[in-house]
Amino acid sequence: DTEVTQTPKHLVMGMTNKKSLKCEQHMGHRAMYWYKQKAKKPPELMFVYSYEKLSINESVPSRFSPECPNSSLLNLHLHALQPEDSALYLCASSQVLAGGYDEQYFGPGTRLTVT
Amino acid sequence: GENVEQHPSTLSVQEGDSAVIKCTYSDSASNYFPWYKQELGKRPQLIIDIRSNVGEKKDQRIAVTLNKTAKHFSLHITETQPEDSAVYFCAASMRTNFGNEKLTFGTGTRLTIIP
């Protein structure tokens, strides 16, 4: 299995809702990533987990809360979002090779719309 | 932090001609330079990458060159085909203290192949 999967594909939520995005990989990768991508822009790194521990938080607002229950799963909990948070949320994973140069494999993304 | 600039932002070429996309990076600690292709509504997919200890790499119609001294790298696509139409992102990656890779993307180039 060489794929990263994400659910749901699409999500519409109100500003008072609580929802979660899910990401899963079975490639034995030990690093997992959340990116946010606005239309016609590059992906922007949000969080990185390495060996199930949060290693990078790119100053993301607390209304986004990541969770890594185990080495195969990565969640992103959403609460009290703003319309400007509407975007494509991409998950990625990579091995953690001793020599570096780790390719990141991206999931198909969740298209989030905040109303 | 790392800053990656990418040019041009849009590029139209006649089918069969070559396309060149150029990127520069700022942090000499970056040591891995992947290129991603993203079709509309799809995930970014790695098409080629180059490590900092290599000056050039080729894979069929796609080649990448790296000049570490000048901190720039380029993507070359020869004999372009309509299916090459997409947005292309360059990226610079460095290994963090946590053992994972931190990717910084360029702003993207929308490549259109004219039949």
CA separation (Å) from A101 to A55, A111, B77? 18, 29, 23
With an 8 Å Cβ cutoff, are B107 and A42 in contact? yes
pLDDT at B18 over 80: yes
**B88, two tokens:** 């292309």
Model confidence pLDDT, tens digit, residues B54-72: 899 999 999 999 999 999 9
Q: What is d(CA A42, CA A49) in angstroms, rounded to the nearest whole number?
A: 20
Task: Pick the closest to residue B15 from B88, B84, B76 (CA basis).
Answer: B84
Asked if B92 and B103 count as a contact pair (C-beta separation under 8 A), the reply is yes
pLDDT at residue B96, rounded to an integer:
80
- Identify each DSSP E strand in chain B by its residue range: 4-7, 10-14, 19-25, 32-38, 45-51, 56-59, 62-67, 72-77, 86-95, 101-105, 109-114
Which residues have a Cβ under 8 Å from the Cβ of A65 and sit 6 or more positions away?
A76, A77, A78, A79
Q: What is d(CA A21, CA A73) in angstroms, rounded to the nearest whole number?
A: 11
With an 8 Å Cβ cutoff, are B98 and A45 in contact? no
pLDDT at A1 over 70: no
Give percent above pLDDT 70 in chain A. Answer: 96
pLDDT at residue A2, rounded to an integer:
65
Q: What is d(CA A73, CA A22) in angstroms, rounded to the nearest whole number?
A: 7
Q: Cis link prior to A8 (omega < 30° from 0)?
A: yes
pLDDT at residue B52, rounded to an integer:
86
pLDDT at residue B87, rounded to an integer:
98
Q: What is the mean pLDDT of residues B26-38?
A: 94
Model confidence pLDDT, tens digit, residues A83-97: 999 999 999 999 887
Mean pLDDT, chain B, whole residue set: 94
pLDDT at A100 over 70: no
Q: What is the mean pLDDT of residues B36-56?
A: 93
Q: What is the mean pLDDT of residues A31-59?
A: 93
pLDDT at B98 over 90: no
For A30, which residue in chain B has the nearest alpha carbon?
B100
3-state secondary structure at position A78: strand
Phi-psi region of A21 (alpha: psi -120 to 50; beta: other; left: phi over 0): beta
pLDDT at A23 over 80: yes
pLDDT at residue B94, rounded to an integer:
87
Lowest mean pLDDT among A30-34, A94-98, B18-22, B70-74: A94-98
Q: What is d(CA B110, CA B11) in angstroms, rounded to the nearest whole number?
A: 6
Phi, psi of A22 (to 5 degrees): -125, 145
With an 8 Å Cβ cutoff, are B42 and A40 in contact? no
pLDDT at B112 over 70: yes
Contacts of A52 in chain B (CB under 8 A): none
Mean pLDDT, chain A, whole residue set: 93
Of the partner residues B43, B51, B100, the one whose CB lies closest to the CB of residue A94: B100
